[in-house]
Amino acid sequence: MKTYQMLVDGAWVAAESGKTFAVMNPATGEVMARVPEAAAADVDKAARAARRAFDEGWRDVTAQERGRILFRLAEQVRKDAKALAELETLNSGKPLMESEYDINDVATCFEYYGGLATKLHGEVLNVPDNALSLALREPLGVAGQIIPWNYPLLMAAWKIAPALCAGCTVVIKPAEQTPLTLLELARSFETCGVPKGVVNVITGFGEAAGAPLVAHPAVDKIAFTGSVEVGKRIMRSAADTLKKVSLELGGKSPNIFFADADFESAVDGALFGVFVNQGEVCSAGSRVLIQRPIYRKMLDAMVEKAKRIKLGSGMDPATKMGPLVSKEHMERVMRYQEIGRKEAKVASGGGRPREAELQKGYFVEPTIFYDVDNSATIAREEIFGPVMSVIPFDDEKDALRIANDTPFGLAAAVWSRDIFKCFRMVKRLQAGIVWVNHMQPTYVEAPWGGYKMSGIGRELGPWGAEEYLQVKQVHINLNEAPIGWY
Ligand code: NDP
């Protein structure tokens, strides 16, 4: 079993305390590695290293060179894609095909921001004076980044790539459950030309390692993806040092099916929307709204297909759904299944699978609850597992009322052949991402982030880089005479 070290100031180090913790394979419940358990002292070293790296060199590295480093990282990811995808599956549980898809997206993300580095520029402003007025874009400085376990390396790429593109340095903390792929990739940082201290990776728990990163005075910005509760805590703590904060906090996204939608696509789209990645997806379409004329028919068709979803180790090519990430999370999802059984009717699943070979892993059945009232707990709270709440609706107005009646606003999808109806819905849905006749496709070129309690700021595309930049106004007086005021 491998014991990892973490990357601080270009060196591979243990935690100062010498403590480590176990990283599990969720399909078997076995320990697969140990990693350092960082605490405030380790975070302090990493934050100071990132500060030094920013002040003493990285801020002067040209955009072209930063771009080249990002391209090299992309190339490295493509070279190591097979090993990274396998490790991602072993550590997170997701089917290998999904990990392969994610790792390809990781490389694409580094490529995109490699290209964008030389396209970030300022503006010349038309001020009413004999002057040159400029708005320059400059890097914020040191970025602290805290990421979750559902797309481990992809979430790291979504944060590291725009930060380097913008010229920031980084201290990143992966989730305690899934630190391995980032640690593996970090072994290539030096050969890809990332100077020491520019990206530091610390492993540890949220309270002990994440919280000191948020509070650290050398850190200028925090980028976080995870739960609303922790997001709020981060915002409160960041207020003390007035850090910029960007938050991506998940949701309870409506996936809306009108009676005139293509039926087969609708059934597939509803299942994919919430069962992909075991439902551990911030944009999961966990509220499936179906118009009454097709309600029963679509429910039956979804149940029929859901029952055939093959659970198993992500390494088995036949597997369509892996285990949940941890025992703790499995128990959390099972508590929601229990609540759901009291609040609504069970159409499919509702517990743990019975097969003997699945007992050691953290598997739960793909579950469909129906006749769910939108006020039910299973329609309001983010479950982050393979649990679908099916809700009937009458017409467009009713669908909108239900869809927007949630504290969240990350994503929504609408399915219909009527383009006018689709556009009316698009305009009224309160969500940062709206899909029409699809759910979940995500591209590095397009903005990602939430309305309402789903977060603050946007990732990906040029918006992602903006989160790591600040604007400096420069006024260059072209009059050679004195102001002449006094
Ligand atoms: P958390 O929000 O607790 O964890 C996300 C990240 O934040 C992890 O790296 C975690 O570290 C870190 N963290 C935890 N507490 C603090 C803190 N006080 N200060 C700084 N960082 C901290 O999510 P969970 O893993 O506990 O999952 C719980 C629920 O959150 C899920 O069921 C789901 O509903 C939601 N979630 C949403 C995600 C999204 O994509 N929007 C992703 C993951 C979860 P550590 O791993 O050590 O706890």
What is the residue with the minimal CA distance to atom 42 of ligand 1?
226
Would you say the CB of residue 214 lies under 6 angstroms from ligand 1? yes
Q: Is 303 helix (H, G, I), strand (E, B) or coil?
A: helix
Gap from CA of 330 to ligand 1 centroid (Å): 15
Residue holding tokens 């040029």?
462
Query: Which tens digits make up the pLDDT trace of 91-124?
Result: 999 999 999 999 999 999 999 999 999 999 999 9
Would you say the CB of residue 207 lies under 6 angstroms from ligand 1? yes
Ligand 1 pocket test, pick from 146, 222, 381 with the greatest ligand atom count within 8 Å of Cβ, gives: 146
Token reading at 248: 């991506």
Query: Which tens digits make up the pLDDT trace of 394-439?
Result: 999 999 999 999 999 999 999 999 999 999 999 999 999 999 999 9
What is the residue with the minimal CA distance to atom 12 of ligand 1?
206
Gap from CA of 84 to ligand 1 centroid (Å): 23
Would you say the CB of residue 206 lies under 6 angstroms from ligand 1? yes
What is the residue with the minimal CA distance to atom 13 of ligand 1?
206
The pLDDT score that the predictor gives to residue 112 is 99
CA distance 403 to 407: 11
What is the residue with the minimal CA distance to atom 22 of ligand 1?
206
What is the residue with the minimal CA distance to atom 10 of ligand 1?
206
Gap from CA of 18 to ligand 1 centroid (Å): 24
The pLDDT score that the predictor gives to residue 208 is 98
Ligand 1 atom closest to the CA of 381, numbered from 1? 34
Ligand 1 pocket test, pick from 159, 227, 278 with the greatest ligand atom count within 8 Å of Cβ, gives: 227
The pLDDT score that the predictor gives to residue 79 is 98
Gap from CA of 63 to ligand 1 centroid (Å): 33
Ligand 1 atom closest to the CA of 385, numbered from 1? 32
What is the residue with the minimal CA distance to atom 30 of ligand 1?
227
Active-site residue list: 248, 282
Has this prediction a pTM greater than 0.85? yes
Token reading at 293: 């004329």
Ligand 1 atom closest to the CA of 233, numbered from 1? 18
- Cβ count near 310 (within 10 Å): 10
Q: Is 223 helix (H, G, I), strand (E, B) or coil?
A: strand
Gap from CA of 122 to ligand 1 centroid (Å): 36
Would you say the CB of residue 226 lies under 6 angstroms from ligand 1? yes
Would you say the CB of residue 459 lies under 6 angstroms from ligand 1? no
Cα 430 from chain centroid (whole Å): 20
Would you say the CB of residue 175 lies under 6 angstroms from ligand 1? yes
CA distance 169 to 199: 6
Gap from CA of 396 to ligand 1 centroid (Å): 35
pLDDT tens digit at each of 486 positions of the chain = 899 999 999 999 999 999 999 999 999 999 999 999 999 999 999 999 999 999 999 989 999 999 999 999 999 999 999 999 999 999 999 999 999 999 999 999 999 999 999 999 999 999 999 999 999 999 999 999 999 999 999 999 999 999 999 999 999 999 999 999 999 999 999 999 999 999 999 999 999 999 999 999 999 999 999 999 999 999 999 999 999 999 999 899 999 999 999 999 999 999 999 999 999 999 999 999 999 999 999 999 999 999 999 999 999 999 999 999 999 999 999 999 999 999 999 999 999 999 999 999 999 999 999 999 999 999 999 999 999 999 999 999 999 999 999 999 999 999 999 999 999 999 999 999 999 999 999 999 999 999 999 999 999 999 999 999 999 999 999 999 999 999
Main-chain dihedrals φ then ψ at residue 471, nearest 5 degrees: -105, 130
Residue holding tokens 């299944």?
337
CA distance 366 to 200: 38
Write the DSSP assignment of 227-285 as a string of letters.
Answer: -HHHHHHHHHHHHTTT-EEEEE-----EEEE-TTS-HHHHHHHHHHHHHGGGG--TT--
Q: Is 309 helix (H, G, I), strand (E, B) or coil?
A: coil
What is the residue with the minimal CA distance to atom 16 of ligand 1?
206
The pLDDT score that the predictor gives to residue 58 is 97
CA distance 8 to 201: 6
Gap from CA of 228 to ligand 1 centroid (Å): 9
Gap from CA of 296 to ligand 1 centroid (Å): 37
- Cβ count near 236 (within 10 Å): 10
Cα 273 from chain centroid (whole Å): 16
Would you say the CB of residue 197 lies under 6 angstroms from ligand 1? no
